[in-house]
Amino acid sequence: MHKNKQQVAAAQHIAVNEPTLGQSVRMKTSFNAAKIVQLAAMEFISQFIRLASRRATGFSPILQRNRTTVVQKQFVTHRQAHSTMDTTIHSAGIGEIHMVPMSVIQRPIPSVLDEKKVQSLMETIKGESSEDEVPPIDLLWISGSEGGDYYFSFGGCHRFEAYKRLQREAIKAKLVKSTLGDLYHYMGSSAPKYLA
């Protein structure tokens, strides 16, 4: 009972002192205090990650969340305008899209695929009339100690598989400059200790 009073007090504090979250609280006639506290914590963590990201390039936040809608923003780079709805936290500040040869991409974790999704993507890729129809995948780009370039992919498994089945030589990708330490976060002790 005491814990519930603390949650309600925290939610009321948020409703008064946090304009975005407060608006959401006032719009609902009844609300779950624990959920409001959880949302506030998630928003704080999200802001902290965006600010602390070493990959930030000075762009304003790419995806702003309003508790009722998601607002899409766009930014312009020297190359072209990109929709930012299809970005991840890793590539949010990266505007350049590269065509990376499929043969150099390493996917160390086996994919679990939805066959219907792969087939749908294949049809979309075949009839693609603009670059924006199928978003690029994110690749961790690691420079080896002797100058080699290594590209690791952990997401975008359906897109990767669709390009592979269509026997495309290259795939659209955003290169996320990374380190062996970053790779360790994905692979744990299976990560290579050294790249040439």
Along the 196 residues of the chain, how does pLDDT read in single tens digits? 455 565 556 656 555 565 554 444 444 434 566 667 677 767 666 665 555 554 444 443 433 333 333 333 333 333 343 444 456 777 888 889 999 999 999 999 999 999 999 999 999 999 988 777 899 999 999 999 998 999 999 999 999 999 999 999 999 999 999 999 999 998 999 999 889 8
b/e for 29-41, b at 16 or more Cβ within 10 A?
Answer: eeeebeebbebbe
pTM to 2 decimals?
0.56
Q: Which of 161, 46, 154, 160 is nearest to 92 (CA)?
A: 46
Per-residue pLDDT at 196: 86
Residues sharing a CB contact under 8 Å with residue 91, sequence separation 6 or more, in sequence order: 136, 138, 174, 176
Per-residue pLDDT at 163: 97
Q: Which of 75, 138, 159 is nearest to 84 (CA)?
A: 75
Token pair of 160 as six digits: 């990767």
**Do 68 and 24 form a contact (C-beta atoms < 8 A)?**
yes
What is the amino acid identity at position 84? T
Question: Residue with structure tokens 């704080």?
Answer: 44
